[in-house]
């Protein structure tokens, strides 16, 4: 590429600044939209992915077959200790957490004149240290608020219904695995509002051992949640767990199998990205094609003169193509900078969709998961590159016709035009 | 490249050009015989439609004849394809057009440089462009773009560009058509000086009497034929 070709192409863009500005604006707007919308989607879907592949759901779940449909107390995994030990022998396993879920009734445990009003609840037995990590059921609680022997953590909604606050007691009535009634009074240590809707609305969360004792489920649990090294390799991990002798009759699901709707939603992101990429294509094509066609037709005599001087048609083609590419690059650079700036700023502050939609509260329940209305956009560099690539392809395509026309000009006719 | 007769730059025998627009035929040249030797200062005159510009375009390898023979610098133009004609123009011919001569986004120096670059001149082209502009008294315009110059100044820069690579033949189509008397005189004196000092050959198409006065040879075309071919002492 000769320097003068570049110089002429660059300066030509300044000849009709308003037109160039319009072209640049169209491309910049397209790229800006692509980056910001994809940034929003990336932030939203990533938070969703973080939840479904985090400690709450795990990469792989183990249950007794049929438990997910009926959730009966007696549909437990037996020999829990052995199963956990076998799972922990797999090198890629990062953590193993067993849970118990059993329907119960909860009521304020304080003595009073009026009969206590009972509410439907769910006893949730958990591995407290594991669930206290980021993304776990008890993630938000400091050590002193965690449940222990004789104490529980209540889901916030349930606590409101039962008019219970930390420091009070809750009476719990349930059934053990053989159908016999069981009851006890527990101290409410704290309230929890986690990413699991059941816990938030119904949860009476206690240590796994406490739940096993209360519900007479020794060495048993309803669910084992396993986190591996990489959520993308959940299928391989599930296959290895299926081959363990202690779990040969269990139902073993990857996070994708456990939450197919959410997986489909996350998969929609690819389509959303493509739709906005297509919009960028159209914006860039309109901006560049219009600018280049107008610019080329206006310069017919100039091209004729250049051809008369001995300029080869190929050089005219390069000149026009380069002009188109520069126009595209300037537009895409402006759009990328503005888009990246907006995504960066909002990734710090977050965007409260709830507030924008006039919805009170910051969370939405979906598929049993509690998702935040506040989205923290995320800049995906690949989308910037896709945009640049799309604009470059468009720039080449949009310059093809005007360049072809210019290259075919007859100098004598063009000079007279 | 120079033909058998080292002095003969242009030789036309029975040159014809007929423009076709569908079924309509418009003859522009009807058997022109012509010879131009090196160092001549030739003016082609005639009324509008007489074929002046067509003849200049054919000599300048910008267009193809429909009949006859045309040799420029010893080269039979009928045998050249588009690329070879562009090569001939680039290496051996200089052009000055009536208007819109310069690349508007380049300065005067860059316009001259551009042609030198096309010819494959390396890094020294900037200095050489400066020398040419200086030689022709145009150094003060070197860094101005066409829009920052008058029509006369632009035409003088166009001449500088046409002669920068020392072409054998310079073709000028109505070069003074858009110039006032003073600028036309300056331009013609400049071209005469180039002919005198460097032996360049100039062929103009014009109906400007001022150009005719400066010419040593005046070829008059009428209805596509050479009506008169006269030599006279220039003013």
| Rounded CA separation A231/A271 (Å) | 22
Are A97 and A244 in a shared domain? yes
Number of domains comprising chain A? 2
CA torsion A377-A383-A384-A387 (nearest 10°) is: -130
Q: Do B118 and A310 touch (CB under 8 A)?
A: yes
The predicted pLDDT at position A366 comes to: 64
Are A42 and A73 in a shared domain? no
What is the number of other CB atoms lying within 10 angstroms of the CB of residue A271? 9
> Smallest Cβ distance to B100: which of A11, A302, A312?
A302
Interface of A with B in 278-317 (CB under 8 A): 301-302, 305-312
The predicted pLDDT at position A247 comes to: 85
The predicted pLDDT at position A166 comes to: 93
- What mean pLDDT comes out for the span B56-79? 91
Are A253 and A192 in a shared domain? yes
- Decide: B29 and B64 in contact? Cβ < 8 Å: no
Query: Which of A210, A235, A258 is at the close of a domain?
Result: A258
The whole domain housing A151 covers 60-258
CB contact burial A84-121 (16+ within 10 A = b; e otherwise): bebbeeeeebebbbbbbbbebebbbbeeeeeebebbeb
Query: Which of A225, A240, A258 is at the close of a domain?
Result: A258
- Decide: A49 and A124 in contact? Cβ < 8 Å: no
Query: What is the ipTM metric for this complex?
Result: 0.85
Tell me the nearest-neighbour CA distance from A306 into chain B, angstroms. 8
Are A189 and A275 in a shared domain? no
Query: Which of A227, A258, A289 is at the close of a domain?
Result: A258
Q: Do A15 and B57 touch (CB under 8 A)?
A: no
Say if A88 is an interface residue toward chain B (CB within 8 Å): no
Are A139 and A232 in a shared domain? yes
What domains appear along chain B, each with residue ranges and CATH number? 8-231 (3.40.50.300)
**CB < 8 Å to B100, chain A:** 301-302, 305, 415
Q: Do B103 and A415 touch (CB under 8 A)?
A: no
Are A223 and A329 in a shared domain? no
- Decide: A56 and A135 in contact? Cβ < 8 Å: yes
Are A169 and A283 in a shared domain? no
Are A64 and A196 in a shared domain? yes
Interface mutation vs chain A, best among B62, B65, B143, most A CBs within 10 Å? B62
Q: Do A15 and B104 touch (CB under 8 A)?
A: yes
What is the number of other CB atoms lying within 10 angstroms of the CB of residue A359? 13
Q: Which residue has the higher pLDDT, B148 or A295?
A: B148
Are A193 and A143 in a shared domain? yes
The predicted pLDDT at position A115 comes to: 65
Residue that is written with structure tokens 């104490």 in the block = A151
Residues of chain A with pLDDT under 50: none
> Smallest Cβ distance to B86: which of A11, A312, A415?
A312
| Lookup: tokens for B92 | 């051996």
Q: Which residue has the higher pLDDT, B185 or B178?
A: B185
- What mean pLDDT comes out for the span B22-49? 91
Q: Rounded to an integer, what is the distance from CA A298 to the centroid of its chain?
A: 49
> Smallest Cβ distance to A12: which of B87, B105, B119?
B105
Are A358 and A298 in a shared domain? yes
Are A132 and A196 in a shared domain? yes
Question: B157 pLDDT exceeds 80?
Answer: yes
DSSP secondary structure letter of residue A28: H
Are A86 and A188 in a shared domain? yes
Say if B95 is an interface residue toward chain A (CB within 8 Å): yes
The predicted pLDDT at position B3 comes to: 41
Can you list the positions of beta strands (E) in chain B?
A: 8-21, 24-37, 41-45, 67-72, 75-76, 93-96, 169-173, 201-205, 217-222, 225-231
Q: Do A311 and B86 touch (CB under 8 A)?
A: yes
């Amino acid at each position: 590429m000769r320097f003068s070709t570049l110089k002429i192409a660059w300066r030509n863009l300044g000849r009709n600044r308003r037109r160039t500005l319009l072209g640049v604006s169209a491309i910049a707007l397209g790229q800006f939209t692509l980056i910001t919308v994809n940034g929003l989607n990336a932030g939203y879907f990533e938070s969703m992915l973080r939840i479904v592949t985090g400690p709450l759901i795990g990469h792989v779940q183990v249950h007794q077959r049929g438990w997910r449909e009926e959730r009966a107390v007696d549909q437990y995994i037996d020999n829990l200790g052995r199963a956990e030990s076998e799972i922990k022998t797999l090198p890629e396993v990062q953590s193993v957490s067993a849970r118990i879920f059993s329907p119960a009734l909860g009521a304020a445990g304080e003595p009073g004149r009026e009969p206590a009003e009972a509410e439907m609840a769910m006893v949730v037995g958990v591995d407290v240290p594991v669930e206290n990590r980021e993304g776990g059921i008890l993630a938000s609680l400091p050590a002193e608020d965690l449940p222990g022997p004789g104490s529980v953590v209540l889901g916030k909604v349930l606590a409101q219904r039962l008019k219970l606050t930390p420091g009070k007691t809750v009476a719990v009535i349930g059934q053990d695995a053989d159908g016999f009634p069981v009851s006890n009074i527990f101290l409410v240590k704290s309230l929890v509002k986690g990413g699991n809707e059941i816990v938030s609305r119904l949860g009476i969360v206690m240590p796994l051992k406490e739940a096993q004792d209360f519900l007479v489920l020794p060495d048993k649990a309803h669910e084992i949640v396993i986190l591996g090294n990489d959520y993308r390799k959940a299928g391989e991990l599930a296959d290895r767990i299926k081959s363990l002798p202690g779990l040969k009759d269990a139902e073993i699901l990857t996070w994708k199998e456990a939450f197919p709707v959410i997986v489909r939603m996350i998969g929609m992101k690819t389509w959303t990205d493509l739709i906005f990429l297509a919009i960028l294509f159209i914006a860039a094509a309109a901006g560049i094609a219009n600018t280049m066609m107008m610019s080329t037709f206006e310069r017919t005599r100039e091209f004729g003169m250049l051809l008369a001087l001995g300029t080869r048609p190929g050089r005219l083609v390069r000149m026009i193509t380069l002009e188109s590419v520069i126009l595209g690059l300037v537009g895409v650079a402006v759009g990328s900078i503005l888009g990246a700036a907006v995504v960066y700023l909002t990734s710090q502050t977050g965007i409260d969709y709830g507030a924008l939609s006039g919805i009170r509260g910051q969370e939405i329940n979906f598929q049993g998961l509690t998702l935040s209305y506040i989205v923290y956009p995320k800049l995906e560099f690949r989308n910037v590159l896709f945009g640049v690539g799309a604009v470059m392809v468009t720039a080449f395509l949009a310059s093809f016709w005007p360049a072809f026309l210019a290259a075919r000009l007859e100098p004598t006719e063009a000079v007279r035009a | 490249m120079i033909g058998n007769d080292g002095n003969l730059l242009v030789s036309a025998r029975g040159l014809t050009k007929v423009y076709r627009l569908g079924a309509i035929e418009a003859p522009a040249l009807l058997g022109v015989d012509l010879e131009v030797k090196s160092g001549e200062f030739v003016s082609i005159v005639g009324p509008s439609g007489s074929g002046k510009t067509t003849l200049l375009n054919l000599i300048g390898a910008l267009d193809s004849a429909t009949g006859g023979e045309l040799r420029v610098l010893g080269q039979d133009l009928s045998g050249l394809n588009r690329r070879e004609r562009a090569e001939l123009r680039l290496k051996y011919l200089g052009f000055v057009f009536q208007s819109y001569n310069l690349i508007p986004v380049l300065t005067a120096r860059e316009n001259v440089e551009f042609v030198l670059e096309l010819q494959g001149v390396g890094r020294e082209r900037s200095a050489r462009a400066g020398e040419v502009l200086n030689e022709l008294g145009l150094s003060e315009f070197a860094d101005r773009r066409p829009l920052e110059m008058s029509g006369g100044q632009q035409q003088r820069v166009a001449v500088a560009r046409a002669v920068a690579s020392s072409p054998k033949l310079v073709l000028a189509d109505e070069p003074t058509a858009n110039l006032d008397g003073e600028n036309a005189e300056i331009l013609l004196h400049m071209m005469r000086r180039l002919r005198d000092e460097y032996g360049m050959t100039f062929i103009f198409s014009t109906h400007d009497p001022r150009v005719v006065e400066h010419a040593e040879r005046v070829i008059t075309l009428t209805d596509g034929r050479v009506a008169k071919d006269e030599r006279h002492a220039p003013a």
